[in-house]
Structure 1
Amino acid sequence: MALPPSSHPYRGRLAPSPTGLLHLGHARTFAVAHQRARAAGGTLLLRIDDLDPHRSRAAFAEAAVEDLRWLGLDWDEAPCRQSERRAYYRGAWERLVLGGWVYPCQCSRRELQQLASAPHETARGASPLPDDEPVYPGTCRPRWQPGENQGAAERQAWCAAGPSGRNWRFRVPDARAIEFADGSFGPQKFIAGEAFGDFAIWRRDDVPSYQLAVVVDDAATGITEVVRGADLLLSTARQLLLYRALGLSAPGWFHCPLMLDRQGERLAKRNDALSIRALREQGYSARRVLEEAGSAPLAR
């Protein structure tokens, strides 16, 4: 649990997504993020990751803030919302387009679901990594490589037209090893093109992807360490490629073990019985919820 060495003051963040009620797994992760920021004498931010307008709900955002406060997990600066930062994501998208890093993809969701993707690598010390994006076969990849002048005029035209109406993918460097040290699970290594392929950074319904938004936001707010669940270890490899393509400095990483229910399944927001709100209504104290969040499954 040692903190990473850094020449910069520690800056961490709590980043709930308001697509459902927070559960015990969130309590565990956010408590660790809070503990690490306070132990370092650093700053902790609150960001509401309400990027997806189709799934985010204001009521869930309000519940998340209330639950965090009830748990005693405070923060230091005024909260920000991803829904208010679209211009920054659009600017990053344009930089990636002009650099030849991303391209439009016409493949339908059905076509992608039919792909026979290879099994993902497993993070050392973690459970097999869940992932909802199959390894893309490169169907719509352009001829040019990132950084080449070939295709410059077409990329300029894409920027002028904007991202709406097409999916956009980041071109990964095939067979390149993406390595990083995780504060919880230790050294990690994923092979681009095998563990993951060209990944989405903007959807055809004009919504930026999680991968792009968190990179832009964490860099803009000077986050020095990202604390989150182990299900996002594979996303870290993707995001490191975005940091490099955008010329940004990446933070350190600390991924918390996933919390499982009695059936051995990881907790999800559909587990209403294990939501912080439900436990609170059943008479659990904040201290007990945090204690229970430190072990799984929940002992009644």
Structure 2
Amino acid sequence: MSVPYIGRLAPSPTGLLHIGHAHTFWIAYERERAAKGKLWLRDEDLDPQRSRADFAVAMREDLHWLGITWEAEMRQSERVDLYRAAMEKLLLDGLVYPCSCSRKDLQHATQAPHEDSDDEPVYNGRCRFAAAPKAILTPNTNYRFRVPDGEAIRFVDVHAGPQSFRAGCDVSADFGDFLVWRKDGLPSYQLACVVDDAAMGITEVVRGRDLLKSTARQILLQRALGFPTPSYFHADLMCDDAGVRLAKRHDALSLRAMRDAGLSPQDVRDRFPEQRSPGA
């Protein structure tokens, strides 16, 4: 018997959704509908400085206006105890360590990202060999996941094809020890995403190609926590006229601005690019 398809939309209420978000979310919606499955809306509101209630309302309104519906919802800010439990397991298993590096330290102890993206720099392991951490979560402390040095994390993306990213702390690595817990008592994006995808029973994650490397990190966390690994579909990104990847700073390309300008949902969907096949 085949496993039912379960997908998710995961917007953050830190700004208005733009056409790039709409493009990815529409793909997720269409793939779920084609599979006759279930779609979650996950409100990724863990950023206390930037998350706003009016943006949370707007993202739901704009998605419904576009024609996207879902069957269930969750809010990450209501699930911190679950993230803490996962973090405590990583601590007990000796897979994470405290990091005392300041912003200035990190500027001197990391190399630049390998590509033009929002990806974090490769950490050089400065705190990795410090005193053995206690198996109790220490307040006001950042923690990093200890990656397997030199291991290539491989997966086959449904859309982007075969992928391989090398873990480690040397200059040839694609990614290094990454943050999983912040000193403000909240999980990183990587840990929260893994815990929630497992709890929701997600069978396929649809998101942008800028998060391909995050998938390698999340596979390591899934392995460490005993969670299954879903399928991944990393959609092509939309760019502005200058070739810059769309972000929430592109207010003129927000769904709300397009609605106010009189565009219809179909007008917006007609602007979505065709997805390229692997190697195209």
Shorter-chain TM-score tier: over 0.9
Q: Secondary structure at the match of 1:44?
A: strand
Change (3 A) 1:295 1:187: closer
Shift, 1:116, TM fit: 4.7
Alpha-carbon displacement from aligned partner over 1:154-212 (angstroms, at most 9, x marks no partner)? 533xx1xx343111000000110000010111000000010000000111122210000
Classify 1:173/1:163 alpha carbon distance in 2 versus 1 (closer, same or farther; 3 Å): same
Match of 2:121 among 125, 131, 134: 134
- Separation of aligned partners in 2, 1:108 and 1:132: 19
- Percent of paired sites with the same residue: 59
Structure 2 counterpart of 1:105: 99
What is the distance in 2 between the residues matched to 1:132 and 1:228? 15
1:70 to 65, 88, 91: 65
1:252-276 deviation line (CA, Å, top 9, x unaligned): 0000011000000000000000000
1:35 and 2:16 equivalent? no
Kindly state the Cα deviation for residue 295 of structure 1 after the two structures are TM-superposed: 6.1
Distance (whole Å) between structure 2 residues aligned to residue 163 and residue 24 of structure 1: 41
Following TM superposition, the consecutive aligned residue runs of length 4 or more in structure 1 with deviations greater than 3 angstroms are none
Structure 1 distance, partners of 2:211, 2:85, is 25
Matched with 1:187 is 162
Q: CA deviation at 1:133?
A: 1.6
Q: Match for residue 211 of structure 1?
A: 190
In 1, are the aligned partners of 2:11 and 2:59 still within 8 Å (CA)? yes
- Do structure 1's residue 8 and structure 2's residue 6 form an aligned pair? no
1:123 aligns with none
Distance 1:50 1:116 in 2: 28
Secondary structure in structure 2 of the residue aligned to 1:168: strand
Q: Which runs of 5+ in 2 are unaligned?
A: 276-280
Q: Confirm or deny that 1:178 pairs with 2:153.
A: yes
Distance 1:28 1:15 in 2: 13
In the alignment, which residue of structure 2 is the partner of 1:81?
75
1:168 aligns with 2:117: no
Residues 271 and 42 of structure 1: is their aligned pair in 2 closer, same or farther, counting only changes over 3 Å? same
TM-aligned CA distance change 1:92 to 1:129, over 3 Å: farther
Give the structure 1 partner of residue 214 of structure 2: 235
Q: Following the alignment from structure 2 to structure 1, what is the Cα–Cα distance between the partners of residues 108 and 102?
A: 10
> How big is each residue's C-alpha offset from its partner over 1:102-156, in whole Å with a ceiling of 9 and x where there is no partner?
0100001121123351653xxxxxxx46144211111111479xxxxxx5xx533
**Does the CA contact (< 8 Å) of 1:96 and 1:246 recur in 2?**
yes
Q: Counterparts of 1:93 and 1:116 in 2: how far apart (Å)? A: 24
- Equivalent residue letter for 1:51: L
Q: How large is the RMSD of aligned CA atoms in angstroms?
A: 1.7
State the TM-score, normalized to the length of structure 1: 0.87
Equivalenced residues, count: 271
Task: Assess if the C-alpha contact under 8 Å between 2:32 and 2:39 holds in 1.
Answer: yes
Q: Which runs of 5+ in 1 are unaligned?
A: 1-5, 121-127, 145-150
Structure 2 counterpart of 1:198:
177
Q: Match of 1:147?
A: none
Partner of 2:278: none
**How far is 1:51 from its partner?**
1.1
